[in-house]
Structure 1
Amino acid sequence: MNKKELCNALAERTGLSKTESQKAFNAVIEIITNEMKQNGRITLIGFGSFSVKQKAARKGMNPTSFAPIDIPAKKVVNFKPSIYLNHLLNVKKRGRKRKDENNISL
């Protein structure tokens, strides 16, 4: 799903027009981006949390010439899904396993 499809789905669910839903979506993304720039943390209960982590400078290697290079320190966005979201994605069906599920052939 891309941004346009997401905005259209938002418009259908909320009853807003497509332009209004796109403006609302852009506003949410802008708020999240500004908070990330300030090294903030955003927690959406039932979905997950976004945070900024600092990666230290390190030594690397150019894969074509095998020459050592210095990789500078940088900030990266980290997303940690909530337990609820993980549970929804990994729900296991009840019941007994089939015989062919127990026998793993290599």
Structure 2
Amino acid sequence: MNKAQLVKEVASATGQTLAEANASVEAVLTAIKTGLSSEGQTRVLGFGVFKNVIRKARSGRNPSTGEILYLPEKTVVKFKPFF
């Protein structure tokens, strides 16, 4: 599901217009981003946890040429669903 589909689902489930549903989805995504940048994680009770994780530097390979590449350390977001 992409963002446009999510907005349509929210609109149909809540009776909001597409513009109102888009604003709601944007508010939730902004809150998740804010939590990730300030606290390193965002917990949504009953849904899951979005968490910043540092991916270590490693060597990789270009699939087209076979050339070995250096991939530097970077921060990625991981999601762990609530069960």
Question: Do these two structures clear the TM 0.5 threshold for a shared fold by scoring above it?
Answer: yes
Structure 1 counterpart SS, 2:78: strand
Structure 2 counterpart SS, 1:38: helix
Question: Could you say which structure has the higher strand fraction?
Answer: 2
Gaps in structure 2 of 5+ consecutive residues: none
Structure 1 counterpart SS, 2:28: helix
After TM superposition, the structure 1 stretch with the greater mean CA deviation from structure 2, 38-47 or 18-27, is 38-47
Determine the structure 2 residue equivalent to 1:96. none
Determine the structure 1 residue equivalent to 2:46. 46
Identity of aligned residues (%): 35
Contact 1:39 1:52 in 2 (8 A): no
Compute the RMSD of aligned alpha carbons.
2.0
Structure 1 residue 69: deviation in Å?
Answer: 2.7
Structure 1 residue 65: deviation in Å?
Answer: 4.2
**Paired AA for residue 78 in structure 2:** N
TM value normalised by structure 2:
0.78
Aligned length: 82
Question: Which protein shows a greater Rg?
Answer: 1
Determine the structure 2 residue equivalent to 1:93. none
More RCO (CA 8 Å, sep 6+):
2
Structure 1 residue 15: deviation in Å?
Answer: 2.4
TM value normalised by structure 1:
0.64
